[in-house]
Structure 1
C-alpha cells in the first residue's frame, strides 16, 4: 500500500510524463532512467514504444507494488529536474513522505515509537525548508482586499465595447497588485483570453494622448490607430495600459476625454460585431499618495485604498491577520511569524510601504 495519496501519485505521473515528452525518444530515455535508478522492475516485459501517458501509467503500476521500488526510482529521477523548480520540490517532499517511519496503533509498538521518535520530527520533515520556500512563493497578495474596486469593475465592464478605467497610485503597487487584480477579474468576467497587454508611457513631455498612443502603435505594432489594432486582434480581447505621468497637466482632462470618446466612436461597432472588448487602463503614476483622479467623462475611476486595514473590520480580515495566516500556512515557526508581523506593523498600513515590505519578506524567506 503506497503512503502517497492518489492525487500525489497522479501528480508524480504527470511530472514524469512532462519530463519525457520534452525528449526526442521518451520511451528510450525513460527505460534508461529506470535502469540507472536500480529500481527492481522487469523492464523486458514493458513496451517502451507505447504512448508516453500509457507507458508511465504501466510503470507506476509496477513501481507501486513496493515502496522501495518507487523510492529508488524517485531518488534518481529527482536529479533529472531543475532543482529550482516546483516539480523538484514536490518530488523531494514525496520522497520524505515515503521514508517517514510508520507508527503502529498497537500499544506495544506505540510505546516503542514514543521512546524513539519525536512526532515533531515528522511534522518538520513534511514542512522541510524546500516545502516552506515553495509555499512562500505561492503567497499572492493580488487576491487580498480591493473588493470595492472589483465591484466597480464588474459593474461597468461591457463585453463588446471599449471600456476605460482609471487608477491612481505608486507604479509598483499599480503594476504588481492593482493591475494584476484587474486583469484577473477581467479574465474571469469575460471567460476568454486576451492578448498580452500593450503598455504605453505618457509623460509630461508628450504631445496629446492620441499622438502618444498612435505613435507607439505605429512603431511597435505597425498600426495607425486602435481600430486597426482591434481589427487585427479580433480573436481575443485587447488590453491597453497607459502609464500616465501627465495627469497633473492643466489640459490633460480635456485631452483624455476627447481621445477616449474618439476611440469609442471608432471601435465600438467593430468590437460589437466581433464580440470582443478593448479594455483601457489609465494608470496615473502618483508618488505623492494624493490619489487624485481626473474624473474623465466615460472613464470609470476605480478607487484604491490609501491604507490597508491592519486588523479585522466589517470589510474583512486586516492585512496583519491575512499575512500571519499565510505565513502559518507555509509552516513558519511562531517566533518567525511574530518577527515579520512586527516589521509589517511599523508601516501603519501605508499601502505602498506595506506592499513593498510583504514582497521583501517573501523574497527573503524564499532566498530570492
Structure 2
C-alpha cells in the first residue's frame, strides 16, 4: 500500500493506493464525524460490484450511510441528474458538516464532486474511484463538472476531496476496454513528465495488460505521484498543470462530435495524443523519437484499433467550444521530447486541419 500526499494550500489530502481498502476508508469516514448519514453516490456498475462491502465496512465502523444511484457513463453528467443528487441530499438533511462519497468511475466522481462543491456552498467529498482511468486521472486534482450540449465539462468547479482511496481490487472485474482506456491517461502522464516511467511502461506493458498486481500497483502509484506533484504546484491550472491536457483538446472534441458516451474518454484521448504528437513534430516542437514511442505504446495497449467515426463539421463545431481556447484560437499541449511538454501552444489552423485529416481520415 502507498500513501501519496497532495499538498494543495488549504486543502492538503492523501491518495491511498492498495488492495482491499474498504475498512480503511470506513475508518477514515468515521473520523470525519459527519453530522448526518454520509451520502454515497454510485451508478449501477459500481453499486452492483462494490457497494455492499463498503456499506458493511461502514456499519462495522459505526457509520450510517445513504445510497443514491445515478446513470452509468456520461449520462450521469447532466443537469437533471445533478438535480436528483441535490434532492437526495435535501431529503437526508445533509448540512454543511456532511460528507459525500463518490464510488464509481470518472463520470460519477465528476457529477458527485460538483454536487459536493455546490451543496451548501461546499461539503466534504471523498473519492473512491473504481476504474483505472478515474484512479490515475479524474479523481485527482479537484476538477468537477457536468456536460452541456455545447461541450464537455463546460459547467464545473475546482473542489478538492478530503481523501482518495484507490482500491486496485476494483480493477479485477473491470471490463478490458475500460482498463485499456485508463492506460491512455497513464501513458499521457509518463510522456509529458517522466521519461523513466515511459521506459518502465515499454518494458512492463504486457504485465500491466495482464493485470499483474505488482505491475498495477507500480503503474498507478507512479501515475498518481506525477499528477499529485503537478496539482500541488498548480491547483487552479494557471500554468504547469495544463500539461496534463495533452491529447485533450482533440480528445474532448471527439467525444462531443461522436456523441457523449459513444467513445470512451481514454480512447478519445489516445487519438487526441496521436494528433498532438504529429502536430508537435510537424510544427518543429517535437522529436521523431517521442512520436514513435508514443504511437508504439498506444498501439500495443490496443487504443488505436478503431478510428473514431466523426464528421469534419461536427469536429470543428466541438473544437470551437474547447475551454482551452484563447481569443477564439485553439491552444495545444505539444510534446517537446519524452518526459517534457509545452502548454498553451498556438498552431497554424491549416496545419491542424491537415493533421486531423491524416490521423482521423476526415
Q: Whose strand fraction is larger, Structure 1's or Structure 2's?
A: 2
- Normalising by the smaller structure, the TM-score range is under 0.3
TM-score (norm 1): 0.25
TM-score (norm 2): 0.25
Q: Whose helix fraction is larger, Structure 1's or Structure 2's?
A: 1
